[in-house]
Structure formats: C-alpha cells, structure tokens
C-alpha cells in the first residue's frame, strides 16, 4: 500500500491555505495547526483571508495566536513567530455555524487567489479548508464542488484538465472513478474509457509526486463479488475487465475486477498502493472508517498540487474549540512532500 513518507522535507516556497467556509471549522483548525507547527513539524503556510475575522475567531476560542500581514514571499520568515495572513480584500463576517452573505464571496476569493499564487510560482501548493457547497450554490456557484472549480481555474488555452479525487492515508489510498453522482447515475455513466483515463492520471501523479516507480492498482468490481461471472450483473465483464486489460497492455500494474468486500482488510491492502473504486461510497466508506482523522483529499490531474482535509465544515462544533486539526495537518504535510516529489 502507499505508505506515509518517512521524512519531512523543507520547501523553498510556502503553502497557500484557503479560508474555506468562514462559518465552519476551517478557521479553528488553521489556528490550532499553526500552534502545533513545531511539535508536528509543519511546513510554512499562509492563510488567504481576512485578518480581522481570524483574530476574532482566535479570541473566541481563547487561542493565543499572533497574526501578521504577509505576502507569499514573506510568509516563510513570518511563519516562525506568527500566522501569516495574505489578504484577499474580501471581508468575512459569518459567526460560527451561521453562514451569511459574506460566506460565498470570501471562500471563492480565497480559492481563486490561492490558485493564482501557485500557478505564478509564488506558492508550492494549494491546501483548501472545507467549503459548504449548499452555501455556494445559493450564491450562484455553478460547480459540483471544489474539485471541478479548481479544474476550471486551471484551464489553459481552452483545455480543462481532468481532475481525479484521491483519498490518501498511511493506511489506505482510494480513488473513486465516479464521484458525486446518485448510484443509478454512476452505474449509467461508468465506462471502460473512464476507468482507463482515471487510472492513467493516478499512475502518472503517483510516479511524479509520490515517488513510486511502478504504482500497483487494485481495481474493484462494480457488482457484489465482481459480478459472480455475470450472475450478478454484466458490467464487470463488459466494462471493468476490458479496462484492466487495456491498462495491463500499457504496462500498468493493475489487477481486477476484484470483489470490493475483500479488498480492504490488512493483508489485501499490503498488495497495492491505491484502490480504484467504481463509485463514491465504495471508496470513501473504507478510508473514512480506517483513517477518519488523518485521511487527506488530494486532487490529481491538475497542473499544481492540491490537498484538503477529508472532512466537512462541521458547523455544529465551529467556534467551540472541539475541532480536531489532524486532517488539516496531514494535508499540509502531504502537500509539502508532494511538492518535493516524494
């Protein structure tokens, strides 16, 4: 399996951390992560947001965090003694758990500015705090989520990259071929070409950004028992198996279709670096069960590195001090390591 990298590598550029939904736990875990910068050996990062808003949240949480206005170029030096804040020029006013009119504009401005910085070479990677898609939709946001918006921002010369969602942890790494679709739609849209295209991106990025010369893929079946030789559905024979054959013909180490119910125990996980699953829950249930606090959402296929905590905005605990920064810390550490191709 794809294991945690063993050493922390210094980056010459800081990480750009987005604000996320201001009414959520993004500000909370950002403050907590900075306080743990030394004990958890965090790479330097700066937050794209509103310094006054962050100061108010820190006071509410009773956290003694020094804040300082910064640019990407000054962030590394500032990070040692204060949390660097790069202003987006968009104020945030939402109290914990209560998104308001400022939520969508401040979240979108932070994401957009982070992508601008990383594509201009001013930041090593983008790390995104959780957003509330329902809040963005009400403000006219037209994308299914973070991933699709990032792909649009990364479009160059009319060519939009194909983003692939990887859920990475030291215990298990998974990729869903279809993502935010109703199950009936996921089955209807699944094709051999989609599986092959997804696997190619996974292999390419694992070689370039995770330092794996020959990544091993375990490809799940769609139906129970991978279709039971057609008795439980034809899709595994007609869609999944041909895709695996194509990948193997290209020299990619891929096995499948495999019964999903036997892919995720410890002995099975030791035989592959990434599990390629056919739909959202088939991939996310095992990784969130095995590694809820340290799983990281990674977007592959983009011309820049993007990681994110593998959890949502948690409105119910925002501002209470109960938010756990572990997944954000894992996302920051992984982004730095990927930036160094390890």
Over the stretch 77-121, which tens digit does the pLDDT of each residue have?
A: 999 999 999 999 999 999 999 999 999 999 999 999 999 999 999
Mean pLDDT of 6-17: 71
In whole angstroms, give the CA distance from residue 309 to residue 330. 8
For 225-267, write each residue's pLDDT tens digit.
Answer: 988 888 888 999 999 999 999 999 999 999 999 999 999 999 9
Chain-centroid distance of CA 150 in Å reads 11
Q: What percent of the chain has pLDDT over 90?
A: 81
In whole angstroms, give the CA distance from residue 193 to residue 117. 34
CATH code: domain 172-290 is 3.40.718.10
Residue spans in the chain of domains classed CATH 3.40.718.10: 1-161+325-342, 172-290
* Residue-level pLDDT at 1: 56
Average pLDDT, the chain: 93
- Superfamily for 1-161+325-342? Isopropylmalate Dehydrogenase (3.40.718.10)
Burial class (CB in 10 A: 0-12, 13-18, 19+), 342: middle
Burial class (CB in 10 A: 0-12, 13-18, 19+), 317: middle
* Residue-level pLDDT at 138: 86
Nearby residues of 137 by Cβ (< 8 Å), 6 or more positions away: none
């Amino acid at each position: 399996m794809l294991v945690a990298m063993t050493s922390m590598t210094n980056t010459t550029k800081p990480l750009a951390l987005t604000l996320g939904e201001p009414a959520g736990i993004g500000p909370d875990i950002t403050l907590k992560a900075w306080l743990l910068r030394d004990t958890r050996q965090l790479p330097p990062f700066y937050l794209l947001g509103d310094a006054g808003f962050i100061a108010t949240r820190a006071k509410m949480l009773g956290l003694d965090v020094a804040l300082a206005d910064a640019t990407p170029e000054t962030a590394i030096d500032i990070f040692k003694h204060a949390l660097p804040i790069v202003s987006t020029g968009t104020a945030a006013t939402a109290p914990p758990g209560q998104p308001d009119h400022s939520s969508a504009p401040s979240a979108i401005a932070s994401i957009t500015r982070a992508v601008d910085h990383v594509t201009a070479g001013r930041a090593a990677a983008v790390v995104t705090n959780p957003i509330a898609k329902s809040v963005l939709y009400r403000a006219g946001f037209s994308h299914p989520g973070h991933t699709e918006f990032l792909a649009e921002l990364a479009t160059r010369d009319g060519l939009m990259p194909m983003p692939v969602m990887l859920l990475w942890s030291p215990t298990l790494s998974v990729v869903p071929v279809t993502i935010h679709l109703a199950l009936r739609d996921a089955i209807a849209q699944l094709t051999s070409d989609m599986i092959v295209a997804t696997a190619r991106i996974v292999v390419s990025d694992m070689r370039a950004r995770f330092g794996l010369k020959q990544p091993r893929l375990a490809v799940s079946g769609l139906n129970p028992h991978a279709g039971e030789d057609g008795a439980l559905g034809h899709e595994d024979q007609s869609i999944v198996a041909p895709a695996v054959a194509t990948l193997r013909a290209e020299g990619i180490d891929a096995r499948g279709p495999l019964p999903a119910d036997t892919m995720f125990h410890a002995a099975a996980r030791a035989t592959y670096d990434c599990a390629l699953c056919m739909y959202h829950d088939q991939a996310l249930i095992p990784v969130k069960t095995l590694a809820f606090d340290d799983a990281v959402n990674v977007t592959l296929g983009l011309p820049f590195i993007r990681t994110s905590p593998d959890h949502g905005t948690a409105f119910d605990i925002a501002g209470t001090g109960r938010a756990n920064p572990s997944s954000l810390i894992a996302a920051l550490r992984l982004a730095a390591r990927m930036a160094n191709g390890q």
